[in-house]
């Protein structure tokens, strides 16, 4: 090949490279530096140490911690499917999670609990952000009270009974028993270490009671094995944890995903008179609403509100609208935290992660630009689009 031909070939390659580079630069602006674009992971798996240096990067929850914390029911179905396919649970470190973690780090736990409300459009990552915060609480040795989806209790209850303590209230014994099992698996090691004891007697029936001074774990086991009394055990458990936290024996983080479900106007549950009841007529609702009141210390409440949790209010995603007047007044004061669509840098990290896990293959800059244009950075939309790639 002559010198002229080689120079022409090099010039052609250079023009082609410049064209591809300009296309990529138009899709991904200069603020997505090479370091951000390629180094999308962080090896720091402890959320206690997460800060702005880890922002927009993906970290992986250790498998044993994941099994202890979520057990396949404390995680959304779509995210669980993805984590199973990837054989790991990885979370994008986003600013809302770091904001709540920074508040929890700086809080004065001698004062009444602070309440934080995650809100935003459906699919923007509120549940995943809550997972990140729960992992932080787990590493900080806080007792975790996690209610994944209370709206499911009110839509598909396995069993409905009248409360033996209050005739006007209904119990959901199967759901209560499952939640006690979930709570025990999350906190059994910490509860054994703290060795918390019951402060008073609880009489379940003529023959059975929980005596003052007995272990909290024993009462939990009783509720799991005798689900008829599971709802009452939950009520007693939350009261005992409130007393223990006030006494400085432990710290507690309560987290409810879809908190506004408690303030819905109706359920799919009827009482003995065949009248539809609202969630406040169910014992589980009363127990958790009482626990979220700011009449105790050494704890915090992180809640999400979502349009899918309340079928009556789905037009807007603001807390005041989703909670209604009564729900808002009950929760106030709280700190609202907005979840929005991915930024370009967050989008880059997620796409690189998907490519690394072979979730998407053979995609170029134009393909990434198309995904961005179709989804506008909406996390759930991106996940749905990438399912078929």
Q: Between 229 and 39, whose confidence is greater?
A: 229
What tokens appear for 170 in the block?
A: 């209904």
pLDDT reported for residue 16: 42
Contact 305, 319 (CB under 8 A): yes
**Chain segment 203-250, per-residue pLDDT in tens:** 998 899 899 999 999 999 999 999 999 999 999 999 999 999 999 999
pLDDT-derived band at 34 (thresholds 50, 70, 90) equals: very low
Give the domain ranges of the chain.
47-338, 344-386
Cβ neighbours for 371, distance < 8 A, ≥ 6 positions apart: 351, 382, 385, 386
Mean pLDDT across 95-121: 96
Q: How far is CA 203 from CA 200, 225, 290, 347, in A?
A: 10, 16, 21, 55
Q: How confident is the model at residue 167 (pLDDT cuts 50, 70, 90)?
A: confident
pLDDT at residue 318, rounded to an integer: 92
Q: Rounded to an integer, what distance in angstroms lies between the CA atom of residue 225 and that of residue 181?
A: 10
| pLDDT value of position 77 | 86
Short-list 322, 290, 294, 297, CA closest to 308: 322
pLDDT digits (tens, 9 = 90+) for 338-365: 999 999 999 999 999 999 999 998 889 9
Query: How far, in Å, CA of 94 to CA of 129, rounded?
Result: 8
Q: What was the pLDDT predicted at 90?
A: 95
Instruction: Provide the pLDDT for residue 290.
Output: 95
Cα(first)–Cα(last) distance of the chain, in Å? 42
Q: Residue 28: what pLDDT?
A: 38
* Averaged pLDDT for residues 15-26: 38
Q: Give me the pLDDT at residue 312, please.
A: 78
Mean pLDDT of 261-273: 88
Tell me the mean pLDDT in the region 51-71: 93
């Amino acid at each position: 090949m002559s010198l002229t031909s080689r120079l022409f070939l090099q010039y052609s390659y250079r023009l082609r490279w410049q064209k591809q580079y300009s296309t990529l630069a138009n899709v991904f602006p200069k603020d997505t530096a090479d370091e951000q674009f390629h180094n999308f992971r962080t090896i720091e798996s402890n959320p206690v140490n997460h800060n702005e240096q880890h922002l927009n990067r993906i970290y992986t929850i250790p498998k044993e911690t994941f099994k202890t914390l979520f057990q396949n029911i404390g995680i959304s179905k779509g995210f669980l499917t993805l984590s199973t396919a990837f054989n790991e649970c990885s979370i994008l470190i986003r600013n809302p999670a770091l904001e709540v973690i920074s508040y929890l780090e700086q809080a004065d736990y001698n004062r009444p609990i602070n309440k934080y409300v995650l809100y935003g459009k459906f699919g923007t990552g509120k549940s995943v952000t809550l997972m990140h915060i729960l992992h932080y609480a787990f590493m900080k040795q806080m007792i975790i009270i996690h209610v994944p989806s209370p709206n499911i209790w009110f839509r598909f209850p396995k069993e409905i009974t009248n409360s033996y303590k209050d005739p006007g209230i209904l119990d959901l014994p199967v759901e209560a028993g499952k939640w006690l099992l979930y709570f025990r698996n999350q906190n059994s090691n910490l509860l054994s270490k703290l060795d918390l004891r019951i402060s008073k007697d609880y009489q379940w029936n003529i023959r059975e009671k929980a005596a003052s001074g007995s272990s909290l774990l024993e009462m939990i086991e009783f509720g799991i094995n005798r689900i008829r009394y599971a709802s009452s055990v939950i009520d007693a458990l939350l009261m005992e944890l409130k007393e223990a936290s006030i006494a400085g024996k432990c710290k507690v983080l309560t987290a409810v995903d879809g908190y506004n479900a408690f303030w819905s106007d109706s359920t799919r549950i009827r009482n003995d008179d065949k009248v539809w009841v609202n969630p406040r007529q169910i014992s589980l609702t009363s127990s958790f609403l009482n626990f979220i009141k700011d009449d105790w210390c050494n704890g915090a409440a992180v809640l999400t509100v979502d349009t899918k949790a309340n079928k009556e209010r789905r037009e807007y995603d603001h807390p005041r609208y989703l909670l209604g007047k009564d729900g808002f007044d009950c929760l106030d004061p709280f700190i609202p935290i907005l979840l929005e669509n991915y930024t370009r840098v967050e989008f880059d990290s997620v796409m690189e992660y998907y490519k690394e896990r072979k979730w998407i293959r053979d995609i170029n800059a134009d393909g990434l630009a198309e995904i961005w244009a179709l989804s506008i950075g909406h996390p759930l939309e991106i996940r749905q689009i990438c399912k078929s790639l």
